Amino acid sequence: MPELAAVENLSANTEHPEAILEKALDLHEVSILYSGNPAINKVSCHFLRNKITSIIGPSGCGKSTLLRSLNRMNDFISGVTLEGKIMFSSEDLYGAEVDPVEVRRRIGMVFQKPNPFPKSIYNNIAWGPGINGHEGSKDELVERSLKQAALWDEVKDRLHDSALNLSGGQQQRLCIARALAMEPEILLMDEPCSALDPISTAHIEDLMFDLKSRYTIVIVTHNMQQASRISDYTAFMELGHLIEFGETEQVFTKPLVKRTEEYVTGRFG
C-alpha cells in the first residue's frame, strides 16, 4: 500500500494568505449511484485547507452521501458505486491501490448522532490511536484531545467512567475528541449538532472555530444560520446536483443562482 503523498502543513504561514488556499480535497465530476440510480450527479468542487466548508440543501439532496464518500464510508453500504475522481493531495481516493482503512485514518468523521463506544471516556479516545500504532504517552494524547474538544475540564476527574453517562452534547464533543486524537488532516462532520440543544451547539461551533487553524473541516448542516455563522465556504445542493458553490458571504447575500437565493431566504426547503 503506497503512502498517500504527505502534505505540508501551511497553517503557520499567515504572511501569504493566498498560499493557504490549498485544496485539501478536489472533486472532479463525482457521481454516486445507489444500485445504478444516481444520488449525486457530476459534482465538481473543492475543500480548502484550514477552512470550514459547509454543505447545505434540503433533505434528501445527497449532502450526507457526498460527505460519506470523502472518507469512503459509503463502502459499507452495498450497491453504492462512485464515478469521477476525488483527489486527496495528489492521490485519487478511489484509486485501486488506495486502502480505505488508511483513508479513514487520515480523514476523520463525526456523525449525526453521538456514537461513543460503550467504554470509558479514556478508552474511547485511546483506542483509535492504539490500533493504529500510536507511540508515546496515551495519557497525554487523551488530555490533549479532550482539551482540543473543550471537554477536558468537565471530565478530567472521571476519565474512567463510562462515556454513556455523559450528556448528549458532551458525548458529541467526546466523539470530536476521539476523531481529533487520530490527528486527521480533514474532519468531516455530518450534521453534528442536529441532536443537540442550543447551548451544546454553541459549544461545538466555538470549537470548530478553534480547530480551523489545524484542520480542514467539511460540515453538512440543515441549519442555514449555522452554515452562515461558521463556514468560510458554502456549497448548496439540490436533488444530487451542486447548484452553487462559493464564499459563504457571497452565497448567502449575493447568490448567483435564483434557486440558491430562494433556499437561503427560506422560501423552500
Partner 1 sequence: MSLISERDKKHLRNRQRKSLYFSYLCAGVTWASVLLLGVLLYQVSVDGLGWIDWQFISSFPSRFPERAGIKSALVGTLWLIGLIAIISIPIGVSSALYLEEFAKPGKLSKFIEVNISNLAGVPSIVYGILGLAIFVRFFALERSLLSGALTMSLLILPVIIIASREAIRTVPMSIRYAAYSLGATRWQTAWAHVLPVSFPGIMTGVILALSRAIGETAPLIMIGALTFVAFLPEGPMDSFTAMPIQIYNWISRPQQEFHELAAAGIIVLLLVLLLMNATVIYIRNRTERRLK
Residues that bind partner 1 (CB under 8 A): 71, 73, 76, 78, 101-102, 104-106, 108-109, 111, 113, 115-118, 127-128, 131-132, 162, 164, 175, 178-179, 182
Q: Which DSSP string corresponds to 57-108?
A: -STTSSHHHHHHHTTTGGGGSTTEEEEEEEEETTEETT-TT--HHHHHHHEE
Compute the half-sphere exposure of residue 156: CA atoms within 13 Å on the CB side of its CA. 10
Compute the half-sphere exposure of residue 96: CA atoms within 13 Å on the CB side of its CA. 0
Residue nearer to partner 1 on the CB measure, 180 or 251:
180
Strands 241-247 and 216-220: unpaired
The label of the residue with cell 426547503 reads: 269
Residue nearer to partner 1 on the CB measure, 51 or 178:
178
Which residues make beta-bridge pairs with 82?
32
Residue nearer to partner 1 on the CB measure, 36 or 133:
133
Least distance to partner 1, CB of residue 249, Å:
31
Closest CA to 170 of 189, 188, 149: 149
Residue nearer to partner 1 on the CB measure, 30 or 73:
73
Which residues make beta-bridge pairs with 27?
45, 86
What span, in angstroms and rounded, lies between the C-alpha atoms of 78 and 217? 27
Residue nearer to partner 1 on the CB measure, 131 or 199:
131
Least distance to partner 1, CB of residue 73, Å:
7
Residue nearer to partner 1 on the CB measure, 171 or 260:
171
Least distance to partner 1, CB of residue 182, Å:
6
Least distance to partner 1, CB of residue 178, Å:
7
Residue nearer to partner 1 on the CB measure, 176 or 227:
176
Q: Is 118 exposed, middle or buried (0-12, 13-18, 19+ CB in 10 A)?
A: exposed
Q: What share of the chain is helix, strand, coil (3-state, %, to 5)?
A: 40, 25, 35
Least distance to partner 1, CB of residue 244, Å:
29
225: left (phi over 0), alpha (psi -120 to 50) or beta: alpha
Q: Where are the beta strands (DSSP E) in the chain?
A: 23-34, 37-48, 52-56, 80-88, 91-92, 107-110, 186-190, 216-220, 233-238, 241-247
